A = this chain, B = another copy of it.
Amino acid sequence: MRNLTPASITDAFAEYAKNAPSARTRSLLVSLAGHLHGFVRDNQVTQAEWNAAIDALTKAKDFTDDKRNEYILFSDLLGVSSLVDMVNAATTGTPSSVLGPFHIEGAPELANGGDLWRGQVGEPLVVSGSVKDDKGAPAKGTVLALWQNGGNGLYSQQDKTVSATNYHARLTVADDGSFAFSTVRPVSYTVPDDGPAGDMLRALGREAWRPAHLHMIVHAPGHKPVITEFFPEDDKYLDRDAVFGVRGPLVLPFHKVSDRAALPKNLAVLDKLPLPVWTARIDFTLPTA
């Protein structure tokens, strides 16, 4: 096309791509180009603004390595990661949420009733609950992948004083679908904001805080894994999560319990937990298969 105009460039892009080997790839990239073109046209983006965008992407390379990815962080802070999660989510059962950067493969097994607290800094928390299918039947054989930060706000990957698998575990639920474990109460924390994604947050007048949460992947037989996270309802960042991960049904009451007899009987450290402890109940419903 020799006579490109702002109005014709997306059609030209689509025409240039007419020989794309995959119809889906062509459709995706034509749509992406069209949305980017719309962004430039709608805003009459200046050369200086385009330069700032290129600079941010270029600077992001200096904040990206095998432990951190600034491009994912941009996607998270723009709500893109959360939206990709939502459009792929099941429409029934407990909602999914974003994976985040701290999941690890090969986490240690934790017996049902087991302990992640281990006397570490922070407020003790007892989590108990169940995994059931959409008809209320227990999802026997379900494995829960669990991970969270510690009472100091750090994930094990960020804390050189703890083992790489601290607060990471895999727990198989009981035959009746029930589970329990002790841990510390996770705390709200900031995503890394020392790079260009942090610059974007500041330009938006936003903060880097995420509300506290317990990550979970529910591996139930006969179902695709469900990636999700659960939030205490008293967290002050619920309504401004930096990465848009909060979903209403994932917000849980956390209760303070001073009566040891009210705690699950199968806790390995039932007698050792200093009272009062926080308790949370997670009753997970699987999506319709």
Contact = CB atoms under 8 A, between A and B. Distances in A.
A261 interface: no
A90 interface: no
A78 interface: yes
Interface of A: 1-6, 9-10, 12-13, 16-22, 25-29, 31-33, 35-47, 49-50, 54, 57-58, 60-61, 64, 69, 71-72, 75, 78-88, 200, 203-206, 238-240, 244, 246-248, 251
B29 A203 contact: yes
B20 A43 contact: no
Taken together, the copies of this chain in the complex come to: 2
Given A16-B240, A50-B81, 15 more contacts: A2-B238, A2-B239, A3-B247, A9-B86, A10-B79, A17-B206, A19-B206, A20-B205, A29-B200, A32-B39, A33-B78, A40-B80, A40-B84, A40-B87, A57-B60
Given A13-B79, A50-B84, A54-B71, A43 B31 contact: yes
A17 B12 CA distance: 35
Contacts of A33: 78-80
Given A36-B80, A58-B69, A205-B21, A86 B239 contact: no
A16 B207 CA distance: 9
A134 B47 CA distance: 24
A88 B4 contact: no
A79 B9 contact: yes
A79 B47 contact: no
A78 B45 contact: no
Nearest to A89: B6
Contact of A37 (B21, B69, B79): B79
Given A43-B31, A46-B88, A244-B9, A204 B78 contact: no
A18 B205 contact: yes
A45 B240 contact: no
Given A3-B247, A69-B58, A244-B12, A83 B204 contact: no
B244 A21 contact: no
A22 B26 CA distance: 36
Given A1-B246, A12-B79, A205-B20, A43 B28 contact: yes
Contact of A29 (B10, B54, B72, B204): B204
B58 A71 contact: yes
Given A44-B87, A64-B61, A247-B4, A204 B20 contact: yes
